[in-house]
Structures are given as C-alpha cells and as structure tokens.
Chains A and B, each alone.
Chain A
Amino acid sequence: MLGKRSIKTTAKQQGIKLAVSMLDLTTLEGADTPGKVRHLCAKAVCPAPTMPEIPSCAAVCVYPSLIGVVREALEGTGVHAASVATAFPSGQASLEVKLRDTEEAVAAGAEEIDMVISREAFLAGDDTRVMEEIVRVKEACGDAHLKVIIETAELGSYDHVRHASMLSMEAGADFVKTSTGKAASGATPGVTLVMLEAIRDYMDRSGRAVGMKAAGGVSTSKAALHRLVLVKETLGDEWLTPDRFRIGASSLLNDLLMQYQKTQTGRYARPEDFSKE
C-alpha cells in the first residue's frame, strides 16, 4: 500500500524541497581533497542558484580528516558539519581507536558524528559490547549529535535490523542510520520501514524521539519521495523535518533538482544543467 502512493504536482514539488532539506550531502572517498569538499559545501548551502526556493541541505558528511575544511566552509550557513568516525566503515578496531577517532572529529569541528556499530560483536550475540561502545562514543561526542549506523546489509534479517535499532536507541543514539553506503545494499524500503517502526515503538515506550537516516541506495527522486511516504505514514508529520529524518546520498541531489526543474518547465533537464558538486 505504502509503496504505491502517487506523488504528483504540488506534492512532488514540496516533497522534493523537503528531501533536499533533509539531505546529508556525502563524499566518502579516498580521493577526497579539500578542494572537492569545499565545492560540495557550496553546493549544500545553495543547491541550485537558478532556483532560490530550493532550500539548503541539512549537512555535509565527510571523513574526519576533512571535517575542518567543512566546518570552515559552512560557518554561519546553518548547514551542519558531519563526520563519520569509529573506524568507518567496518568498525573493526579497538574501542580506544574508535573513541580517539570520534574525539578528533569533534575537536576538528564535527557537529554530527556518524558511527558504525560493531557488527562483529552484534552477530556474535554480544549485545552488551555493542551498547557499551555506543554509550562510550556518545560520551566522546559531547554536544555533537550521534547517528548510529547499523549497516543493515550485514545483519541478515529484519529481526536483526529491529534489534540493532533498539540497542542503539537504548544506548543513547540521537539517530539510527541504515548503512555506510559501502555495503551491497542500503536503505531498502523494507529496512527503512522496520527501523521507523522500531523508532515509533521506542518513542511509545520511552517518550524519547529518535531520528532516522536512510543512507545508501536512495539515488532517485522517486526513491526519496517513497522513503518520505514511509516516514509520513509510520511516524507522522512530526518526523518530516531534518531534525528527525535525513537522507544520506551523493548523486540524489542532482536528480531531485532535475525533477524539480521538470515540474517548473515541463521539460526534463540535462545532467549538465547542474554542477556535479
């Protein structure tokens, strides 16, 4: 039922603007340079100079080594500086290394930390260690917001996705996030729905509102809008804000812009109408 909502005309325009405002514009490559990251920051602040009604993205997400560049570029813009941490993407390192990684990112100006859970501990059944790590990383974050990546593609079942989401929330996550973007699949409709339901049930039980970030595999406007449908009809309109829902993506933004321009002009835009970064 929810996979089949028809989003047209004004709903499409508003939905695209909303999706842009929720976007964590991301680059996580070995070849990232300060120059590329600065370009990306400019794009996040003003995604389409020809269409001023398009809002800024929510954040720019990079590796810790580049977070200083991001912070400087985004100063005063309202767009947040986000850094992955904790031996991203595999999480295969000691807790000390993960904490140090986090502290450095925060010290360099990260306002948001995207950590990975230890799938190695989770799949071995060691829930205590999974939670302990999250609690410690959360402490290391200080005022920075913590998004906990459960890497759904490596968990193997919806039961595990739900359980990992619950552990993360119990341990203090501000957001639960689907994926690193480095695994075989990402924020499929199924895992997105399961995590939203977990957030709703946790909210009912504890009264604490936790956000969600869908990352990986959401690369078209259609996919993004359908994720928003899931949010709207599971958690409701209160979650349709960048404070409660994010989309992590790199190529999605230009597709959103192209689709938006089409609703204005009636013609499909060319990819070269918008800058890559």
Chain B
Amino acid sequence: MTETRTRIVWDYAPAPESPDHVRLRDSYGLFIGGEFVDPLDGTRVASINPATEEVVAEVAFAGAQDVSRAVQAARSAQPGWAALTGLERGKYLFRIARLIQERARELAIVESMDGGKPVRESRDVDVPLAAAHFFHYAGWADKLSYGVGGRSVEPLGVAAQIVPWNFPLLMAAWKLAPALACGNTAVLKPAETTPVTALLLAEICQEAELPEGVVSIIPGDGATGAALVREPDIDKVAFTGSTSVGKNIQAALAGRGVSLTLELGGKSANVVFEDAALDQAVEGIVNGIFFNQGHVCCAGSRLLIQESVADAVVAKLWERMGRLRVGDPLDKNTDVGAINSREQLERIEELVESGEGEGAVRRTVACELPSRGFWFAPTIFTDVAPAHRIAVEEIFGPVVSVMTFRTQAEAIEKANNSAYGLAAGIWTDKGSKAFEVASALQAGVVWQNTYNHFDPSAAFGGYKESGFGREGGPAGLRPYLRVVP
C-alpha cells in the first residue's frame, strides 16, 4: 500500500425531490360545510416557503363571521355523524387514511415547501404517522367503550381544534382522527404560517365523501383562533401550541362548561448516564434536538450528561453536528432544513444572544447557508447554568443547552427543575436505573435509549405547564367522550 493512486473524491450530488407533479391551486378558500368557500369577512394571505421566501399558495384566512359559519356547519352535521354506527364512521376514517397514503409524496413535498422541514422527515415521519393516526382511530370507532373500561359513552359535540406550525398535517391528524372516531364534528384551525397541507387534507375529506360539515378547516392567525374558542356553540377545545396562548384559552373558557385539552411547550431533559452506549446516545441527542430544526414541543433541548462522560459526549456530539447537512429542505439528503418563519428565527437569535450574554459557551456549526430564506445552523451551548434563560425557556430551534450532573438523584432533581413537563429521555444500558429514573421524572413521555419516537397507539401529553389531556392510543379517546353514568 505504498504506491499512490489517483484519489477518488466522493461527495453527494444534489438529490432534490421534484415538486413538478404537485398541483397546488393558486388560491384556497375556507373549507366549510364540505366545500371551499370565499371568506365573508376574512382576508387572503400568501403562505411563504421559508427556504426561498417564495409564495406557495394564497390562502383565505377566516374572519369572525366565517368562524361562526364553520361552527354552525359542524353543529348541524353533528347529530347525523354521531348517529352513524361506529363501524360506518370508521370506514370514513379508513378512507381518509388510505387517501393520505395515496397522496403521500405530494403531501410530503408540500409540507416541506410550506414549512421548511427536510423532505426526508415529512416523507418518513409526518405523512406516514398522519395516516397511521387515522388508521388507528378508525379501528377504535366501533370499540369506544372498550377504551374507557366498558362504560357507555357519547360524543361531546362540536370540537374546536387549533394546531401549531411545526407538524401541520400530523397535528391535524392527531386532532381530527380521535374527534371523528368518537362521533364529534370538528372545526380545525391550521397555523398561520403553514396552512396548505391542512387544505389538501380538506380535499381528501371531499374525496372520501365525508358528510358535509363533519370537518371544517379554516386557516387564520391568532385572532381567528381567539374567535373560535369564544364561539358559544362549541363543546370542546383542543389546542396545541405555546403555553402563553394556552393560558389565554383556559381563561376564556372558564365557567363555560367547555371541555379542554392543552398540549403546550416544553424544555425536555435528555439525560445521559455514564453507562449509556454513548454513540447511540449521540444519535439520540441529534434526533432529539435537530429533528425538524428543533421545532418540536418535546425536543430534548436540555441535555443533562453525567460529568464523568460529559467531555466525551460533547466531543462526539460536536463532531456529529459537523456532519449534519443543512440546506434545501427538498433535497433528500438534507438533515436540517429552514426555520419556519422570520419571526421564529428572530426569537431563536434573541435567545441565543442571551445565552452568550449570560456567559454560556456557544458553538455553532460552520456551514454554508442559503442566501434567501430563514436559516439557523445547529448550535450547542456548554457551561450552561440552570438559571440561564437558555436552560429555562423554550427556544424551539436547533439549539441544545448542555448541563452536567454527578449522581442519579441530581439528574432527577435537575430534570424536574422546570416549569414544563412534556417529555424526557434516559440513556443507560442498565434497566433498573432506567425504570427508577423514569418513574421519578415529571414528564408525560419518557423515552429510554431513543428519542422523538412516536406511535399512534402511545399516549402523548404533558405535566405542569406543558398542558393536560392525552393524545394517541385509547387515552386519546377520553378527551372526546362523555362517559354516561
């Protein structure tokens, strides 16, 4: 092996998913009563591709009258929908699930165009999971009482559902599937910056011949959402989004007899013990914080590492971060895509600056970022004190704050030292330790030796300021049912 041959250089060629076959309309109306209609008192707003700042489509935003119209449509459709047998409702849900699968490629590409997430994720996570949720709850539709210990149940009525911009289609599926399975009708408000896939889902509802008014989809901003939760004729509000908005909603519903579930923010702890498989843990840390650019409510944004292995883990993590591919969300080899909006980018930048100001050590991967669009390179903070803002507040971006601990007790104490309690990760090869720590953590979901792992049969939801109520599995039926005495 002494002679030198010509060195063959090997890099990945661009592998963009082509959007050519995607047929988006130039403009979308509101989906009310089974058809797309023009807004009565709403506006029309362009939805922007955050990777290019180009317009994806123009979308109608609902005004106050439009919101009332959608709620009325849901109200008139509800008795008929609830009167169907569970088996019949299930058939519609199965049909929606299959149509999502049929249009999977299109949905994945549009999700990446509208929201900036890598197409590998929308293709392999968002869209298949959305279909899986409809499949899962289609199966529950004729077995509802088995989900609540054999009691008789009835639907709540009209559900007002507000979803965030980080998983637009998937969150719509999380909300709609259990609501419909239980015999409720729904008015769904997608997020301001990412309404387009929800409108494709509206098309799918039409294709599935879902009875008129069972699902209405009305894009809009915060004002639309505020009007929706203040509608007198709703029976249920399900909200996923920020803790501050969640608190407003809860205040607005006080004393009205409207059922509420909230899935709010998080500052989830990802705890790495010295006996963990460290390389596996590093992959899990990367998946925990850089998945979807860190726009994940349960992101493992507080990384707690046992002091004895902290330097080794941080070194491995930093090297791994350097190999992440940041850029065009439609390229199949992209690991980290665009930040969802200018507003979110500014929030990330502000918090990162505060981290530097408070004395934490910042390292950001040096990578070329596209000149247009909203981008933030993967970033790690070490020497973070638990009191720093970056250790306390949700950044919702590709930024991980590293802290250390010495003992198991200290790890639990630090992990629970948060206003939030959505999720946590534990990395150890010792089973007894994993179970002991998991039961001591105040978090709705605890992952062991994995992170950001979702399944429609597993309940998801929070403790403390991360909200209440569960989505997914049989537990996800309960928020949409009244148990009959």
Among B8, B279, B323, B335, chain A packs the most CB atoms within 10 A around the CB of B8
Q: Which residues of B contact A78 (CB under 8 A)?
A: 3, 5
A197 at interface by CB-CB < 8 Å: yes
- The interface stretch among B9-17, B46-54, B78-86, B463-471 is B9-17
B13 with A9: CB separation less than 8 A: yes
B333 with A233: CB separation less than 8 A: no
B25 at interface by CB-CB < 8 Å: no
A6 with B333: CB separation less than 8 A: yes
- A-contact 0/1 string along B1-36, CB 8 Å cutoff: 101011111111101000000000000000000000
Q: Which residues of A contact B133 (CB under 8 A)?
A: none
With contact pairs A1-B335, A4-B124, A197-B279 given, residues A240 and B10 touching in the complex (Cβ less than 8 Å) = yes
Within 8 Å by CB of B332, from A6, A21, A145, A232, lies A6
- A-contact 0/1 string along B83-124, CB 8 Å cutoff: 000000000000000000000000000000000000010001
Q: How far is the CA of A5 from the CA of B15 in the complex (A)?
A: 9
Give residues of chain A (1-51) contacting chain B, Cβ–Cβ below 8 Å: 1, 4-12, 14-15, 17-18, 21
Among B124, B279, B286, chain A packs the most CB atoms within 10 A around the CB of B279
With contact pairs A10-B13, A11-B11 given, residues A4 and B120 touching in the complex (Cβ less than 8 Å) = yes
Task: Please classify the interface of chain A as helix (H, G, I), strand (E, B), loop, or mixed, using the class held by over half of its residues.
Answer: helix
Counted as pairs of residues, one from A and one from B, with CB atoms less than 8 Å apart, the total is 61
A136 to B: closest C-beta gap in Å: 22
Give residues of chain A (230-252) contacting chain B, Cβ–Cβ below 8 Å: 232-233, 236-237, 240-243
A119 at interface by CB-CB < 8 Å: no
Give residues of chain B (299-333) contacting chain A, Cβ–Cβ below 8 Å: 315, 323, 332-333
Q: Which residues of A contact B10 (CB under 8 A)?
A: 11, 14-15, 18, 228, 232, 237, 240
B1 with A80: CB separation less than 8 A: yes
B16 to A: closest C-beta gap in Å: 9
With contact pairs A197-B279, A233-B323 given, residues A5 and B12 touching in the complex (Cβ less than 8 Å) = yes
- A-contact 0/1 string along B444-464, CB 8 Å cutoff: 000000000000000000000
A231 to B: closest C-beta gap in Å: 10
Q: How far is the CA of A37 from the CA of B10 in the complex (A)?
A: 31
Q: Which residues of A contact B124 (CB under 8 A)?
A: 4
Q: Which residues of A contact B11 (CB under 8 A)?
A: 11, 14
B67 to A: closest C-beta gap in Å: 41
A89 at interface by CB-CB < 8 Å: no
B398 to A: closest C-beta gap in Å: 15
A189 at interface by CB-CB < 8 Å: no
Q: Which residues of B contact A194 (CB under 8 A)?
A: 279
Q: Which residues of B contact A1 (CB under 8 A)?
A: 120, 283, 286-287, 335
B450 to A: closest C-beta gap in Å: 14
- B-contact 0/1 string along A176-191, CB 8 Å cutoff: 0000000000000000
A68 at interface by CB-CB < 8 Å: no
Q: How far is the CA of A102 from the CA of B122 in the complex (A)?
A: 54
Within 8 Å by CB of B8, from A5, A8, A21, A145, lies A21
A168 to B: closest C-beta gap in Å: 18
Q: Which residues of A contact B15 (CB under 8 A)?
A: 6-8, 11
Q: Which residues of B contact A4 (CB under 8 A)?
A: 120, 124, 332
Q: How far is the CA of A75 from the CA of B120 in the complex (A)?
A: 48
Contacts A4-B120, A7-B13 supplied; 15 other A-B pairs, CB < 8 Å: A1-B120, A6-B332, A7-B12, A11-B10, A11-B15, A21-B5, A55-B5, A78-B5, A145-B1, A194-B279, A233-B323, A240-B8, A241-B7, A242-B1, A243-B1
Q: List 6 A-B contacts (CB under 8 A).
A: A1-B120, A6-B333, A7-B12, A14-B8, A55-B5, A197-B279
Q: Which residues of A contact B (CB under 8 A)?
A: 1, 4-12, 14-15, 17-18, 21, 55, 78, 80, 145, 194, 197, 204, 228, 232-233, 236-237, 240-243
